[in-house]
């Protein structure tokens, strides 16, 4: 079986050809199989978030190739890249990146807007996604009025509502206490059991050492410096 | 369904930013209201003038001396009646009167029983030598009503008393506001005008298409005359209103300029929150087209609402509230302004032009910065 995601000598430099050019990712090659749980580990500024963005088609590499489900996406036109992003990936951002003035329900529904779905089907998917993260009773509540843990659950529901193959989570435990972190890891375990591929960027040992993790990739200054089982 | 959902999201987006939305709406609406008021008023005054002149004589003949208007001999009536195609020639007696008491100008006109443009609001037309009918503006400024006496100073500086027997009305008051009608005899005495002279001659013709030919013939027969056709008068009125409207539009163009600066300011950048929202939408799967559609709907909803609201305000201001402030500038030089209630008349071409000049720049100023953000990688947009 071919890997779901391949990065081939991928490099990402911000402010290219400028005095303040920063190489965030340097020559990284890796493969991630479908259903695998991979942790990207490393200190702040090691390039974890940049690599997640590249894998999730949120940005393009300066050089190198990224292949998702057999298709090279690094040079795809924007429209098709968006389609790959929408169909393949769900994102849980470090700061959740929810729209604070919208309700929980409307935030979760946003990824479905570009899809050719009827309103009833959309409502049904949103209800299911919210039920999965036990936030269905908060559907009408404005996101700004929720706690950090609740916001993260909404972010997970939004990431899953499009039924992606891969869930990408950036520092998912950064704003959670230990009880909520355990709860999150249990939730991620359920997703793994459901066959979802998980790519998690973190420097939290509780995540790195968890049994759900298949592989830990260590980054430093944008380079891959270590790889092994949890 | 996709478009409908994005439209719904666009409308809720506007409501999520009530302060900003309301501020732009207010500025935009006020600007449209002011500009549209000038256009509506100018157009309706031109329309009023057309209606008013249509009921007047087809051709007026004045005598000139050294290029200025002089009294014309009544004997010229026979001369002009003899021109083929001329139906009737009537000498008209009228003149201006400055009322130092209230610092207003009136138009004094001899009573013509065949003039059907004058409709009485109240009372009857003058019959006796010391009777008059007056416009509602004169009645208001001199505070006189039916059966009251109106004292005017004649050419000999002697006070003449006229009893008010009627007050005029027309649709717009443009014609009768400053009018005082008295019988011809007393008016001649008042102005000191000999029986052999008249202010001008009103000529009617059998075939209106021959009016220019007849005017040329009159000019040949009476070289010191100035025949003025109805069309020329109309052109003059239109030119005057267009000039005044143009002056006002020039003044208010500063409002348009301020609006353009606002639009430019909007076009050159998005707020951090707006950029972040576009980045989020892109990250969760919206493509550039979806984001642009969202911004198009936002811009259109706001600008159309403001435009229609501004037009409605202008319509009410001009046609229901008599165009306060603007009317004084556009109507005339007299202190006795007509109490304008113009018949609603809207030139759709002008409205379309105004829409094009305001809605298009605003929508463009909404879309361009969003497009700039939307074509960038979502990661870059969210990082700022």
Interface confidence (ipTM) of the complex: 0.90
CB contact under 8 A, B288 and A78: yes
Continuous segment of H or E residues that includes residue B195: none
Sign of torsion over alpha carbons A192, A196, A197, A203 = negative
- At B63, the pLDDT band (50, 70, 90 cuts) reads very high
- At A33, the pLDDT band (50, 70, 90 cuts) reads very high
Virtual torsion, Cα B325, B329, B331, B335, nearest 10 deg: 80
Distance CA A144, CA A142 (A): 5
What letter does residue B343 receive in the DSSP assignment? P
- At B252, the pLDDT band (50, 70, 90 cuts) reads low
**B192 and B155 in contact (C-beta within 8 Å)?**
yes
**A118 and A155 in contact (C-beta within 8 Å)?**
no
User: Is residue A123 within 8 angstroms of chain B, CB to CB?
Assistant: no
User: Is residue B217 within 8 angstroms of chain A, CB to CB?
Assistant: no
Distance CA B323, CA B36 (A): 11
Rg (CA), chain A: 17
User: Is residue A53 within 8 angstroms of chain B, CB to CB?
Assistant: yes
- Collapsed DSSP state (helix, strand, coil) of residue A26: strand
DSSP string covering A137-151, please? Answer: GGTTSBGGGS-HHHH
**Pairs of CB atoms within 8 A across A/B:** 72
The residue with tokens 């435990």 is A173
**B305 and B25 in contact (C-beta within 8 Å)?**
yes
B226: pLDDT strictly greater than 60: yes
CB count in 10 Å sphere of residue A227:
11
- Out of B286, B375, B379, closest to residue A114 by CB: B286
Q: Identify the closest residue of chain B to A111 by CA–CA distance.
A: B284
Interval A2-19 mean pLDDT:
88
The residue with tokens 């929720």 is A146
Distance CA A113, CA A98 (A): 15
Task: Give the residue from B5, B274, B285 with the most A CB atoms within 10 Å of its CB, the best one to mutate.
Answer: B285
Sign of torsion over alpha carbons A145, A151, A157, A162 = positive
Report which of residues B322 and B90 the model is more confident about.
B90
What sections of chain B are H helices per DSSP? Answer: 2-16, 18-54, 76-81, 136-142, 184-191, 211-221, 230-267, 272-283, 288-319, 326-331, 348-374, 378-383
**A88 and A32 in contact (C-beta within 8 Å)?**
no
User: Is residue A78 within 8 angstroms of chain B, CB to CB?
Assistant: yes
Distance CA B190, CA B202 (A): 22
- At A63, the pLDDT band (50, 70, 90 cuts) reads very high
Distance CA A104, CA A140 (A): 6
Distance CA A108, CA A122 (A): 10
Least confident span in A23-32, A41-50, A208-217, B317-326: B317-326
| Token representation of residue B334 | 């007299």
User: Is residue B280 within 8 angstroms of chain A, CB to CB?
Assistant: yes
Chain A CB contacts of B375 below 8 Å: 78
**A210 and A184 in contact (C-beta within 8 Å)?**
no
CB contact under 8 A, B1 and A119: yes
A38: pLDDT strictly greater than 50: yes
Least confident span in A18-22, B68-72, B238-242, B315-319: B238-242
CB contact under 8 A, B287 and A78: yes
Question: What pLDDT, on the 0 to 100 scale, is given for residue B322?
Answer: 72
**A33 and A3 in contact (C-beta within 8 Å)?**
yes
Task: Give the residue from B379, B382, B383 with the most A CB atoms within 10 Å of its CB, the best one to mutate.
Answer: B379
Chain B CB contacts of A103 below 8 Å: none
Give the gap in angstroms from C-alpha A113 to the nearest C-alpha of chain B. Answer: 6
Interval A50-78 mean pLDDT:
92
B360: pLDDT strictly greater than 80: yes
Contacts of B21 (CB under 8 A, 6+ apart): B14, B15, B302
Distance CA A169, CA A201 (A): 6
Continuous segment of H or E residues that includes residue B129: none
Least confident span in A5-9, B43-47, B261-265: B261-265
Per-residue pLDDT of A84-106, as tens digits, reads: 999 999 999 988 899 998 999 99
CB contact under 8 A, A97 and B286: no
Question: What pLDDT, on the 0 to 100 scale, is given for residue B20?
Answer: 81
- At A65, the pLDDT band (50, 70, 90 cuts) reads very high
- What end-to-end distance do the CA atoms of chain B give, in Å? 32
Contacts of A228 (CB under 8 A, 6+ apart): A215, A216
B251: pLDDT strictly greater than 80: no
CB contact under 8 A, A101 and B379: no
CB contact under 8 A, B284 and A111: yes
User: Is residue A183 within 8 angstroms of chain B, CB to CB?
Assistant: no
**B195 and B74 in contact (C-beta within 8 Å)?**
yes
User: Is residue B145 within 8 angstroms of chain A, CB to CB?
Assistant: no
Between the alpha carbon of residue B364 and those of residues B93, B369, B372, the distances in Å are 60, 9, 12
Interval B62-91 mean pLDDT:
91
Question: What pLDDT, on the 0 to 100 scale, is given for residue A66?
Answer: 95
- Give CA A196 to chain center in angstroms: 12
Question: What pLDDT, on the 0 to 100 scale, is given for residue B112?
Answer: 78
Per-residue pLDDT of B125-180, as tens digits, reads: 888 888 999 988 888 888 988 899 999 999 999 999 999 998 886 554 566 778 89
Distance CA A199, CA A32 (A): 9
Report which of residues B175 and B42 the model is more confident about.
B42
Per-residue pLDDT of A120-136, as tens digits, reads: 999 999 999 999 888 99
From the list A147, A167, A35, the residue with the least C-alpha distance to A92 is A167
Q: Find residue B61's DSSP bridge partners.
A: B201, B227
Distance CA B60, CA A225 (A): 102
Distance CA B344, CA B367 (A): 36
The residue with tokens 């209800």 is A127
| Token representation of residue B382 | 């969210």
From the list B122, B131, B233, B130, the residue with the least C-alpha distance to B176 is B122
- At B335, the pLDDT band (50, 70, 90 cuts) reads very low
User: Is residue B371 within 8 angstroms of chain A, CB to CB?
Assistant: no
- At A11, the pLDDT band (50, 70, 90 cuts) reads very high
């Amino acid at each position: 079986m071919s890997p779901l995601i391949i990065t081939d000598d991928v490099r990402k430099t911000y402010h290219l050809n400028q005095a303040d050019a920063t190489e965030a990712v340097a020559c990284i090659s890796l493969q991630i199989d479908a259903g695998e749980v991979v942790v990207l580990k490393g200190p702040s500024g090691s390039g974890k978030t940049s690599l997640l963005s590249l894998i999730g088609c949120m940005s393009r590499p300066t050089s190198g190739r990224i292949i998702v489900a057999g298709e090279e996406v690094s040079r795809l036109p924007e429209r098709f890249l968006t389609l790959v992003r929408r169909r393949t990936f769900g994102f849980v951002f470090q700061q959740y990146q929810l729209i604070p003035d919208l309700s929980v329900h409307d935030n979760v529904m946003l990824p479905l807007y570009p899809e050719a779905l009827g309103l009833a089907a959309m409502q049904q998917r949103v209800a299911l996604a919210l039920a999965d993260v036990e936030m269905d009773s908060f559907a009408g509540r404005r996101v700004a009025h929720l706690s950090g843990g609740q916001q993260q659950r909404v972010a997970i529901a939004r990431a899953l509502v499009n039924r992606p193959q891969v869930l990408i989570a950036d520092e998912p435990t950064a704003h959670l206490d230990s009880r909520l972190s355990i709860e999150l890891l249990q939730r991620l375990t359920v997703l793994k059991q459901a066959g979802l591929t998980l790519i998690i960027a973190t420097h939290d040992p509780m995540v790195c050492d968890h049994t759900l993790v298949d592989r830990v990739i260590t980054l430093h200054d944008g380079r891959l410096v270590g790889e092994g089982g949890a | 369904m996709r478009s409908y959902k994005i439209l719904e999201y666009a409308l809720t987006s506007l409501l999520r930013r009530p302060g900003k939305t309301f501020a732009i709406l207010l500025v935009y609406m006020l600007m449209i209201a002011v500009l549209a008021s000038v256009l509506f008023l100018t157009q309706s005054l031109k329309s009023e003038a057309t209606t008013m002149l249509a009921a007047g004589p087809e051709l007026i003949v004045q005598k000139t001396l050294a290029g200025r208007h002089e009294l014309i001999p009544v004997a010229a009536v026979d001369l002009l009646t003899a021109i083929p195609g001329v139906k009737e020639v009537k000498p008209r007696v009228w003149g201006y009167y400055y009322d130092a008491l209230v610092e207003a100008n009136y138009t004094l006109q001899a009573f013509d029983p065949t003039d059907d443009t004058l409709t009485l609001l109240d009372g009857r037309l003058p019959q006796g030598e010391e009777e008059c009918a007056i416009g509602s503006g004169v009645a208001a400024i001199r505070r006189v009503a039916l059966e009251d006496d109106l004292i005017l100073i004649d050419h000999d500086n002697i006070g003449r008393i006229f009893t008010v027997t009627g007050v005029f009305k027309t649709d717009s008051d443009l014609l009768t506001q400053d009018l005082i009608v008295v019988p011809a005899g007393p008016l001649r005495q008042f102005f000191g005008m000999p029986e052999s002279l008249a202010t001008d001659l009103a000529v009617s013709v059998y075939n209106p298409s021959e009016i220019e030919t007849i005017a040329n013939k009159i000019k040949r027969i009476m070289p010191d005359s100035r025949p003025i056709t109805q069309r020329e008068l109309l052109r003059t009125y239109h030119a005057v209103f267009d000039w005044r409207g143009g002056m006002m539009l020039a003044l208010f163009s500063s409002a348009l300029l301020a609006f353009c600066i606002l639009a430019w300011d909007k076009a050159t950048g998005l707020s951090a929150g707006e950029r972040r929202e576009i980045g989020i939408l892109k990250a969760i799967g919206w493509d550039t087209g979806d984001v642009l559609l969202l911004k198009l709907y936002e811009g259109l909803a706001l600008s159309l609402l403001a435009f229609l609201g501004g037009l409605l305000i202008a319509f009410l201001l001009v046609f229901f509230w008599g165009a306060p402030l603007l009317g004084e500038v556009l109507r005339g030089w007299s202190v006795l302004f007509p109490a304008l209630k113009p018949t609603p008349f809207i030139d759709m071409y002008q409205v379309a032009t105004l829409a094009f000049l305001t809605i298009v720049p605003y929508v463009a100023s909404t879309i361009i910065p969003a497009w700039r953000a939307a074509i960038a990688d979502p990661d870059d947009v969210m990082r700022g």
